[in-house]
Structure 1
Amino acid sequence: MTKRIFEGVLPAITTPFSPDGSVDHEFLREHAQWMMSQGCSGMVPLGSLGEGNTLEFDEKVAILKTLVEALGDKPVIPGIASLSTQGAVKLAQAAKDAGCQGLMVLPPYVYTSDWREMKAHMSAVIAATDLPVILYNNPVAYKTDFLPQQILELAGEHPNVRGVKESSTDVRRVTALAAILPPQVELLVGVDDALLEGVLAGATGWIAGLVNSHPRESVELFELTRAGKYAEATRLYRWFLPLLRLDTVPKFVQLIKFVQEETGHGSARVRAPRLELTDAEKAEARQVLAAAQASPALVGV
């Protein structure tokens, strides 16, 4: 049986900023270690939630070095994206040099084109190292939709393609992938409010968002579902869903960071062009959080 390398709950870790706007490496280290202590399997920095598109190259490399040191032998699997193929290849190689154990490869920022060009970009980045790769499909954010047959084509040509993070929000896409992916390519859920459905369809990993504020609940939900304890999983899922849905709206970065701050696990600071939430948006998010906190009996089933 092929060994799974991306199994379990992998936080798409947020990037903490100090008051002066620089990356807060001390908190980054503490936050990653705290989530690992709650049962997470590794970390996925520099993705959409990690505000990777607002970080400079040197900042990205420094983040990777901090996390590799903080996690020891546990995997750090950074998001690899750039405006150019050359930039993405450079970052992939730097990630390997920093000690990362895998890569999550995204399509290029801004430019969206046909499969011929997207395949050339993805192939160049995948082939830049020998690290195992997760293909990240998020047509909602990046306007590029990698169809199941195209993913299969990349996996057939590149043996280090070992996973797919599916974030199209279409559960039917998860079932389509589960039906055709070879055993060595793992399927990972990429949107928080489709976790239970994704695991039931065959996903073996979850790159999660609200895990940044609720790691114990996230790990428990995943493990209950994987174990086939559907009554318990459904009960916890229903409790968690209003929070998980904060991961699927345009201001998901601001919202998740705000929930982190409200629960004592981070700061709401974001990097421009993002701005922190308005008072009205904060009040709405507080209502969602307060409703969850008012029924703690549903947690720890």
Structure 2
Amino acid sequence: MRLDGVLFFPITPFASDGRLDEEALRQHVERGVSHGAGGVFAACGTGEFNALGLDEYERVVRISVEATAGRVPVFSGAGGSLPFARSCAEAASRAGADGLLLLPPYLVSAPAEGLVNYFHEVTTATDLPAIVYQRGNARFTPASAVELARLPNVMGFKDGLGDLDLLQRIILAVRQATDREFTFFNGLPTAEMTVLAYRGMGVSLYSSAVFCFVPEVALGFHKAVTAGDDELVRRLLGEFYRPLVELRDLMPGYAVALVKAGVTLRGLAAGPVRPPLLDAAPEHVARLERLIARGLEIVGC
């Protein structure tokens, strides 16, 4: 199954007592797929991978697979310490995931060669295809990206740094070194803000946190970009996405907390975030509600 269109990164709902809300998760994933998501990425950054125990992680992946019912591919996160990352990969395989999004190793800074070794060790835990996420303490050189692309189970590279010069050199190096199918992704927060720049380098796939809570706007933006509707793209960027980014940047962790608040505003109780994140302040939730209304107005919903 191929990834296409807008990629959906579900939140992980928690009940008021802090436990995983399995029914809310099921509804959330079902709604997203029904709206037209091109792929589901469960238990990743937006899904608070960092806050899940291994048992919870496996349940999140299994529920996401069941709710998706084979309509689109389901990838799940794996990262942290090497033993934990390998355990996540094994759990994802048991739960029926179609692939993995490999997140950075825990905390430590390491040379690119060591990162390649880390991701090699994780990918040997299962036969699942994997996408490597460049962000934080996982930063690659063009030469090390080529080594990644040569790992049998690695099928893609997701960029969360935003260093376009580096990414262009990585793309060129990988394309010149191998003729195998290898996909690049835009993985910046609120990726719609940089979609036009990434598309200029041939990178069309991107994560959309906005799809979690206002899929109408995310899909409207994607359609406008692909159809060349520059005026609608400009309006959505200026009147919805830019104010959303400014709101997101008011507090560390709002890339998750605001998305959860948005899901709740749209009628599905997402519950709180887990520490160390903080829930969005009431005044910021009110601003988000106005932004949602404005975005829906722009796309005619």
**TM-score, length-scaled by structure 1:** 0.87
Secondary structure of the 2:10 match is coil
Q: Which residue does 1:227 correspond to in 2?
A: 227
What is the rounded CA distance, in whole Å, between the counterparts of 2:155 and 2:196 in structure 1? 22
Q: CA deviation at 1:268?
A: 4.6
SS of residue paired to 1:53: helix
The residue that corresponds to 2:10 in the other structure is 13
CA distance in 2, matches of 1:127, 1:245: 41
User: In the alignment, does 2:252 pair up with 1:258?
Assistant: no
Instruction: Identify the residue that residue 41 of structure 2 maps to in structure 1.
Output: 44
1:170 has 2:163 as partner: yes
**1:207 alignment partner in structure 2:** 207
Contact kept, 8 Å, 2:46 with 2:209, in 1: the verdict is yes
Distance 1:295 1:81 in 2: 34
Q: Deviations over 1:87-122 (max 9, x none)?
A: 211211221121100110112122222223222111
Query: What does 1:121-270 align with in structure 2 at a 5 Å threshold?
Result: 121-139=118-136, 143-156=137-150, 158-182=151-175, 184-191=181-188, 192=190, 193-241=193-241, 242-244=243-245, 250-251=252-253, 252-270=255-273
The alpha-carbon distance between structure 1 residues 271 and 293, as it changes in their structure 2 partners (threshold 3 A), is same
Deviations 1:1-57 (A, max 9, x none): xxx822221122111001111111101011111111111112111212211111100
Deviation sequence 1:155-184 (CA, Å, 0-9, x none) = 02x133211111113344444444444361
Moved more, 225-234 or 101-110: 225-234
Distance 2:10 2:239 in 1: 22
**Shift in alpha-carbon separation, 1:114–1:95, aligned structure 2, 3 A:** same
Q: What CA distance in whole angstroms lies between the structure 1 residues aligned with 2:48 and 2:69?
A: 24
Please name the residue that 1:31 is paired with.
28
Aligned length: 290
Query: What residue identity is the alignment partner of 1:86?
Result: P
Match of 2:284 in 1: 284
SS in 2 for 1:184: coil
**CA apart distance, 1:152:** 2.1
List per-residue Cα deviations over 1:62-82 (Å, max 9, x = no partner). 111111111011211001112
What is the TM-score when the length of structure 2 is the normalising length?
A: 0.87
User: Is there any run of 5+ residues in structure 2 with no aligned partner, and where?
Assistant: none
Match of 1:44, SS state, is strand
Q: CA RMSD in A?
A: 2.3
Determine what percentage of the aligned residue pairs are the same residue.
Answer: 29
Contact 1:171–1:194, Cα closer than 8 Å, also in 2: no
Tell me how far apart the structure 2 counterparts of residues 265 and 210 of structure 1 sit (CA, whole Å): 15
Query: What code does the residue aligned with 2:77 have?
Result: G
